[in-house]
Amino acid sequence: MEFAANLVLALHLFSLAMGTGSGIANSAIGPLYGPSSAEQRNVLFKLAAVLGRNGQIAIGLLWITGIALIFMKGYNLMEMPVMFWIKILFVIILSGASGMASAAARRFANGDMAASTRAAMFGMVAGVSSVVVILCAVFAFE
């Protein structure tokens, strides 16, 4: 069981890297929309959509592997430290903000210019939440 739990932990960490990398890359794309031609923006929209999809897949995998690890490692939810529950709160915020950022980005790609600001705002919330999640995980599982 320990070997399987370690494989799930490896997938969890890979998903963390995938989601974080996608979020950072997507945040670097945002400022490029303004000075871009229409043709360049279409390429940027496609790239942002792929990165957003990767981020959503990563969040889904993190939920699945995180829940699996709790059971595989025999943690008792009633005995988890406060930092674990703060982490879970920010995972929920991260999940919601990421979904809202993706929805706003799709509206922006379809011509709703006001959605650009919402996508950026939700992206920032997701980014800050991901940092808090990582910090809380370090202290919850020390």
Q: What is the pLDDT of residues 46-79, one digit of tens each?
A: 999 999 999 999 999 999 999 999 999 999 999 9
* Averaged pLDDT for residues 102-124: 92
pLDDT band at residue 36 using 50, 70 and 90 as cut-offs: confident
- Does 34 score more than 90 pLDDT? no
Q: How far is CA 88 from the centre of its chain?
A: 13
Q: What pTM did the predictor assign? A: 0.91
Each domain of the chain, given as residue ranges in start order, spans 2-140
Per-residue pLDDT at 142 exceeds 80: no
* Cβ-contact 23, 55 below 8 angstroms: yes
Return the residue matching tokens 């950022």. Answer: 101
